[in-house]
Structure 1
């Protein structure tokens, strides 16, 4: 059976439209600069009205020591009172694509629905900036957010980190750095279908070859660019981490038709074995980022409802 046949019919519609417009999907565009421009052009064509319930501000903050400053976008509920929880947001894109602008709708949505201060980080991308530049940028942004809790108006005792795909891998890696460096205390982490295993040896990494969204060949290419010819450590590929104890409570979700399915399930089981409270959801018929491509589908609404509920419970 083709893996395409396993996709939920409702979320398959926008995927089919994408493949009709761009055969092979985004990874079929070989030049990374052109690929980024293609993604940006697609996103620019989607009109999303501004949410009046959320106030946004872009700010330049210190990057890693000796490295360039980084940009963060701060989201605050417009009408909230009192001290709010905080969510540090790391965008996805396979370590080679993505931006704060590209995930502005999701960050805005989370800010409004959870009533939290959200800080979204613009980290350097590969292949121009291989590991450890992206994760060091993410960690620097988290440190800045933690140091400025009072100004930002959130409770530092209620701080979560959230990210999907590459952002999910960076979420875990940033939490590992915070643990190992004695950095900011995290209440919760939500790595969504995280990209964490550079070996490409799981069953699902061999199954997902022609979906059109983050297939095997694209994943292999992205890992090669991200590692830049150097061996992976646990901060590049968190599946390699030997000790997971001391990480914050976690929520992980992944679809059955997602290349990252098996590495994410295995990692969630290891978190549980290490004593980390972990909630795991596996969504039948969901491909990588289906809830973003088909936001109005019933499956997507279920996925988002579970995430929002978990964030509210963790941060209340």
Structure 2
């Protein structure tokens, strides 16, 4: 064999080796089979999505869907709801709904005061209400033995940021100030929310830190939280033609302003978009979770990493094969594991 042929063979072998070293294209995560089956049973394959054109249209379609999904949750007849009207920082009246059960009123190692959760529902900062989530909240009260106070905060665009944040902080200070009469240990208050409610909970935790709230929050429970408006323009995985991305863009524009949403250079408060916070030091311990197929996955992972880097104890779960709001599929294994985690962390209060 000639040297020329040897050289050719060597060159071809080198190219083959380089090709083998080249990274393989990413493989899209598979949808959890149980979730896929549930979706097909709830939503017909040929269903036409409702229009997204305005916030009003979006609210109507979203609220109809949410009510349908939560109707499958069993009622909890032992849970009592009591509404309290409090005053926000600008004088606006807001309601806080207290969920209690016989389990929440049992003595706790000889003390009448027990832990409590201040809760914020999801809805993109623009929709939904406490009543829509009452069965899920009531179930959590029964499973944990912890009373939950859910805040009927004001919604954008009628009330853009910081209205909801101030409503939430007013609810936190009210709960802490009235802890003894409500049977609450003020040193064991957790803040919790799902989706935009999770982002709101994180923003209020930042407010509590910066305003010197005492005795301080015990825990953050952030369920697939909506944390960073910059994702609508800067996340390469987000497709502007995707319906969910269009929905989130509408929400962020309503909440922080159309001219600001998604602009990294814009003056957007870190309390409204906690992912923008320069420092996450000094926040309470966190329990965070998000689905592998959730649009919020990247911002949630970054937030968890930054919390841990700032010295916060973080328990983070990335649930495989499921999207945003996966826990509406009550009977699948992933949801059961997620609920078990939430129950455990609230019981640990």
TM-score normalised by length of structure 2: 0.81
Q: State whether structure 2 residue 238 is matched by structure 1 residue 205.
A: yes
2:321, 2:301 → 1: CA distance?
Answer: 16
1:173-200 per-residue CA deviation (whole Å, 9 max, x = no partner) reads 0000001011241000011111111112
> Which one of 181, 186, 191 corresponds to residue 151 of structure 1?
181
> Does the aligned pair in 2 maintain the 1:116–1:154 contact within 8 Å?
no
Shift of 1:114: 1.3
SS at match of 2:221: strand
Shift of 1:278: 0.5
- Tell me the equivalent position of 1:77: 101
SS at match of 2:80: strand
1:108-137 per-residue CA deviation (whole Å, 9 max, x = no partner) reads 122111111210001111111111111111
- Tell me the equivalent position of 2:191: 161
> Does the aligned pair in 2 maintain the 1:204–1:262 contact within 8 Å?
no
Q: State whether structure 2 residue 306 is matched by structure 1 residue 270.
A: yes
> Does the aligned pair in 2 maintain the 1:204–1:258 contact within 8 Å?
no
1:232, 1:18 → 2: CA distance?
Answer: 37
Shift of 1:225: 1.1
Deviates more, 1:222-231 or 1:129-138: 222-231
> Which one of 203, 213, 218 corresponds to residue 187 of structure 1?
218
> Does the aligned pair in 2 maintain the 1:3–1:257 contact within 8 Å?
no
1:217, 1:34 → 2: CA distance?
Answer: 13
- Tell me the equivalent position of 2:250: 221
> Which one of 32, 36, 61 corresponds to residue 55 of structure 2?
32
1:41-95 per-residue CA deviation (whole Å, 9 max, x = no partner) reads 344452654313321111211112x231101110112243122211000111111
TM-score normalised by length of structure 1: 0.89
- Tell me the equivalent position of 2:318: 282
Larger Rg, first or second structure (1 or 2): 2
Distance change in 2, residues 1:248/1:30 (3 Å) = same
> Which one of 77, 91, 98 corresponds to residue 52 of structure 1?
77
Distance change in 2, residues 1:60/1:287 (3 Å) = same
- Tell me the equivalent position of 2:4: none
Shift of 1:107: 1.4
SS at match of 1:205: coil
> Does the aligned pair in 2 maintain the 1:197–1:237 contact within 8 Å?
yes
Greater RCO, 1 or 2 (C-alpha within 8 Å, sep 6+): 1
1:246-289 per-residue CA deviation (whole Å, 9 max, x = no partner) reads 10000110111000001100110000000000011001111001
Shift of 1:98: 1.8
Deviates more, 1:35-44 or 1:13-22: 13-22
SS at match of 1:285: coil
2:293, 2:66 → 1: CA distance?
Answer: 24
- Tell me the equivalent position of 1:7: 31
Shift of 1:5: 7.0
1:246-257 counterparts in 2 under 5 A? 246-257=282-293
Distance change in 2, residues 1:3/1:97 (3 Å) = farther
Q: State whether structure 2 residue 321 is matched by structure 1 residue 298.
A: no
Q: State whether structure 2 residue 199 is matched by structure 1 residue 175.
A: no
**Runs of 4+, deviation exceeding 6 Å:** 1-5
> Does the aligned pair in 2 maintain the 1:55–1:78 contact within 8 Å?
no
Structure 1 residues not aligned, in runs of 5+: none
2:276, 2:299 → 1: CA distance?
Answer: 11
